[in-house]
Chains A and B, each alone.
Chain A
C-alpha cells in the first residue's frame, strides 16, 4: 500500500508540473503565437500606450517565459512587488498574481470564492452518488420492470439536458412559480438555513445530470457482473441474495464507478461554472466569467491554477479509495 501511495504521489507531482506548464503556456505562449499583445489585454481594451508599457514592465512581460514563471512561483512564497511606470504595487505572500484591472491581489479573491464552489461541488457529488448508484442498482435488480424503464427514461433525459437549462426551469418553477425558496446565496457564517436554501436548487440541478449518467453506467455494469460465474458460485454455495449483491456484486460495480468519478471531477468544475452562472452564486466560476468580460487575465490564470490543483488532490483521494476497494490496483 505504501509503495502504491508513493507511486501515486509521484504521478501527481508530475501532473502538477504538466498543469503548470500548460497553464502558463496558455497565458504566455499562445497569445505570442496568435499575435496578441498580452500587456494591452491586462490593461483593457481602450488602454493608452503608456499604461500598456507600465504593465509590461511591472509584470516583466518582455522577460523570457521561464523567468516570468519563476517570478510567479517566487511570489507565491515570498510575495511580489510590481514596479513600473512610476508606481509600485505590493502583493503579499501568497501572491497568485495581481489584477491591474480591478486593482486587487488574486489570492483574496480565490479564498473568498473557493468555499462556495467547494460546497456546491461536494453537495452535488454526494447527492448524485447516492441517487445515481441507488437508481442504477435498483434498475439492474428489477430489470425490465416499470421502475427500471421509468428510471432509464428519466436518466436519458437527464444526460440530454444542459445543466443551465434545468437550472433555469428549476428557478422558474420553484423560486418564481411556487415561491418555495429564495434563490439567493447566503454565506454559511450568516445563516445555516439561508445557506442551505440558497444551495439546494443548484445542488439538485448539478446532481441531476451526473446522477443520470451514473445510473446508466451503474445499471449496465451491475447487469454485466450479475452474469459472471463467481456470482453464480456465491449463490450456489447458499449465500442469501442480499449478501451476494452487497458483498460480491456491489464491490465489483464500484470499481468502474470510482474510475469515472476520478475522471468526472474535472468535468464537475465545468458543471459548477455553468451552475454558478445560472444561479448567480459567488464562486470561482463566476469570478472567471466576470474576468472574461473585463479581459482580466490574472484572475483567469489564478482560478485555472487553483482549480487544477483542487482536481489533482481530489484525484489522489479517489486513487487511494480505489486501492482500498480493489486490492489488485495496489500491485499494478
Chain B
C-alpha cells in the first residue's frame, strides 16, 4: 500500500488505516499478479538461470572494482616482471605459467605482466562494449521495428528490406573495414577510446535488426487488438497508442532479446580485439590476450586458457540467464 499523500488528522487516522488495510486485503484477493512478478517467481525456481544471473552480477562488480581489487592484490595490469621470465625461452618460470602466491593466475610470457590483473581490467572492456552496444541495438531496433509494424505499407517494406539486408551482410568483415578506416583521434577521444566508441556503435548498428524483426512482428500482431481499438475510439493519437499502449507490451520480448544479445556482443568484441582491430595494446582485453597467446600454445598453454575460460564463463553465464529470462517471460516456452 502506498503512503497517504497528506497527513491525516489524528481522529481520522485509525479509520483511514483500517479502511486501507481492508481495501488492501480485498485487492490482494482479486488482484492478478503483474508480469514482472510472475516472471520473477518463475526465475527464482530456475536454478541454472539464477546461477547465471549471480555470476553476471559478480562479473559486473569485478569489472567496476577492478582498480580496487588489483590494488589490494598489489598488482598493476601494465607492470613488467621480467625477472619472472626464463631468458632463454621467454616463457614464465615455475609451473603452470608462473602461478605463485603473488601472481594468482601466473604472468604473461616475455614481459611478465600479471595475468589476473589484466583479466580483471579486460572484463571492463568486454562488459562495457557488450552492454552499451546492446543498448544501441535495442533503441534502434525498438524504434524502427515499432514504426515498421505500426505504419505498415512502404515504411514497413523499406525497414524490412534494410533489416533483411543487414542480417545477410558479412558483418564482421564490414566492422573490420569500418574500424580500419577510423582515425586515431576523434571527438576528443584517443586510441583505445576511439576503438571502444566505434565498436559500440558498429556492433550495435549490426545488431538492431535482430530486435527490430521481433518488435515488428509483435507490433503487427497487437495493433488490431481490442485494447488498441478502444484507445483509438477514445480519440487517442498515434503516438499515444505507440508509446502508451504498444510499447509496454513489447517490454518482455525486448528484455529477452537484450539478454540474449549481450553475450553475442561480448564475443564480437573479443573477436575484434583478437583480430587486432579492437582495443589497442597495452590496454588489456580478453580477445587480445588470446591473440598473443596463440604463439605460446605449445610452450605456455596456461596463457591461452585463462582468457579463454574468462570469455567462456562470462558468455555462458549470460546465456544461462538469458534462457531463464526467456522461459520466465514467455508463457508458451517449455523446456
What distance in Å separates the Cβ of B236 from its nearest Cβ neighbour in chain A? 33
Q: Which of B169, B174, B298 contacts A176 (CB 8 A)?
A: B298
Measured CB to CB, the closest approach of chain B to A10, in angstroms, equals: 12
Task: Give Cα A26 to B301, complex, Å.
Answer: 39
Knowing A34-B186, A160-B315, the reply to whether A26 touches B304 (Cβ < 8 A) is no
Which residue on chain B has the smallest CB distance to residue A293?
B276
Q: CB-CB < 8 A to A91: which residues of B?
A: none
**A269-313 CB contacts (< 8 Å) to partner B:** 269-270, 273-274, 277-278, 288-289, 292-293, 295, 297, 300-301, 303-304, 307-308, 311-312
Contact A304 B174 (CB under 8 A): yes
Inter-chain contact B319/A168, CB cutoff 8 Å: no
With A36-B183, A168-B290 as contacts: A273 and B177 at CB distance below 8 Å = no
> Which residues in B have some Cβ–Cβ distance to A below 8 Å?
161, 165, 167-174, 176-178, 180-183, 186, 263, 267, 270-271, 274-277, 287, 290-291, 293-294, 297-298, 301, 304, 308, 311-312, 315-316, 319-320, 334
Query: With the chains together, A286 CA to B168 CA distance in Å?
Result: 22
| Chain A contacts for B177, CB-based, 8 A | 23, 26-27, 300-301, 304
Whether A181 sits at the interface, judged by CB under 8 Å, is no
Given A160-B312, A263-B168, A273:B174 Cβ within 8 A: no
Query: Does A262 make an interface contact (CB < 8 A)?
Result: yes
Excluding A160-B315, A161-B312, 15 further A-B contacts by CB distance (< 8 Å) are A15-B168, A22-B174, A31-B181, A34-B182, A156-B316, A157-B312, A159-B315, A159-B319, A162-B312, A172-B297, A278-B294, A288-B173, A297-B181, A307-B170, A308-B170
- Do the beta carbons of A304 and B297 come within 8 Å of each other? no
Which chain A residues have a beta carbon within 8 Å of chain B's beta carbons? 11, 14-15, 18-19, 22-23, 26-27, 30-31, 34-36, 38, 41, 156-157, 159-162, 164-165, 168-169, 171-172, 176, 223, 262-263, 265-267, 269-270, 273-274, 277-278, 288-289, 292-293, 295, 297, 300-301, 303-304, 307-308, 311-312, 315
The reply to whether B301 and A172 contact each other, CB–CB distance below 8 Å, is yes
11 A-B residue contacts at CB 8 Å? A15-B165, A22-B174, A156-B316, A165-B304, A262-B168, A267-B170, A292-B276, A292-B277, A303-B173, A304-B170, A311-B168
**Alpha-carbon distance between A113 and B311 when the two chains are bound, in angstroms:** 31
Q: Out of B176, B178, B294, which one reaches A168, CB within 8 Å?
A: B294
Partner of B170, one of A26, A169, A270, A301: A270
Look across to chain B and name the residue whose beta carbon is closest to the beta carbon of A266: B170
- Where chain A touches its partner, the secondary structure class is helix
Question: Could you tell me the distance in whole angstroms from the C-beta of B161 to the nearest C-beta in chain A?
Answer: 8
- Across the interface, A308 reaches (CB within 8 A) one of B169, B270, B291, B320, namely B169
From A284, which residue of chain B is reached at the shortest CB distance? B173
Q: Given A159-B319, A270-B171, A36–B275 Cβ distance below 8 Å?
A: no
List residues of chain A with CB within 8 A of the CB of B171. Answer: 266-267, 270
List of B residues within 8 angstroms of A41 by Cβ: 181
Contacts of A18 in B (CB 8 A): 165
Centre residue among B275, B312, B320 by max chain A CB count within 10 A: B275
- Whether A165 pairs with B311 at a CB distance below 8 angstroms is yes
Nearest-Cβ distance from residue B275 to partner chain A, whole angstroms: 6
Minimal beta-carbon separation of B162 from chain A (angstroms): 9
CA distance A265 to B304 in the complex (A): 29
CA distance A307 to B177 in the complex (A): 13
Residues A270 and B173 in contact in the complex (CB < 8 Å), given A30-B178, A160-B315, A171-B297: yes
Known contacts A172-B297, A263-B167, A297-B181; is-contact A273 B290 (Cβ 8 Å):
no
> Is the pair B169, A292 in contact by a Cβ cutoff of 8 Å?
no
Q: How far is the CB of B262 from chain A (nearest CB, A)?
A: 12
Find the A residue at minimum CB distance from B320. A156
Task: Give Cα A297 to B321, complex, Å.
Answer: 41
Q: When chains A and B are docked, how far (Å) is the Cα of A293 from the Cα of B186?
A: 20
Q: Give 3 closest A-B pairs by Cβ, nearest first.
A: A270-B172, A165-B308, A269-B170
| B274-A164 in contact (CB<8A) | yes
Task: Collect the chain A residues with CB atoms within 8 Å of residue B183's CB.
Answer: 31, 34-36
Contacting residues, chain A, for B186 (C-beta < 8 A): 34-35
Residues of B within 8 A of A288 (CB): 173, 176
Most buried by A among B172, B271, B293, B316: B172
With A34-B183, A160-B319, A168-B297 known as contacts, the answer to whether A274 contacts B174 (CB < 8 A) is: no
A157 near B170 with CB under 8 A, answer: no
Q: How far is the CA of A22 from the CA of B168 in the complex (A)?
A: 14
